[in-house]
Amino acid sequence: MRTTNLASGSEKPFLITIQNFKTEQSWIASPGRLYYAELPVTGDSQPVAPGKEIEDLPFLGILSNKPCQGMEGQKLDEREVKGTRLTVWKCRHAESGETYLQHYSTLLGVVVRQESGEGQILELRDINLDPPGAAAFKPSELWREVTLEEFFTGVPALPEYEEEK
């Protein structure tokens, strides 16, 4: 899976994240600086969130892998939009009473649009399905691999200073 974050008010990407679920690898890339870093995926020291099942997770909304996640849901409609099948769900949050319309893509397996009762709309746009292949996870030879420290600070890590005797 690849996501691209655009600079505010621009069409130029400033950050790309790539995740290969088969190899369990993740990378972040900076198109402007032509470098990338692999993200660690094991040894996470953060505490695990409570809940044993996906149903125990709080309300997720857009990008949720299930419509009406954490809410009461009712399927309203099925429709074809731009060549993909969507199911439309009416969701109600039990505690707050807020209602939402969610559009779930059966092709992508995620909620791609959510409309709140107050008129707020969140949606995924410009979704491109690239054919799978190693090229989707391999950067160009023009790119340079860096450490996470250099990726975020822009400066390579310096070796420890040793005074000559």
Tens digit of each residue's pLDDT (9 = 90 or more) over 59-97? 567 878 889 988 899 999 998 887 788 999 999 988 888
Q: Which pLDDT band, with edges at 50, 70 and 90, does 137 fall under?
A: low
Joined together, the tokens standing for residue 122 give: 């969140």
At 124 the pLDDT is 82
Buried b (16+ CB within 10 A) or exposed e, 71-95: bebeeeeeeeeeeeebbbbbbeeee
At 48 the pLDDT is 46
Write down the pTM of the prediction. Answer: 0.51
Q: Is the pLDDT of residue 136 over 60?
A: no
User: The dihedral of CA 103, 106, 111, 112: what is its sign?
Assistant: negative
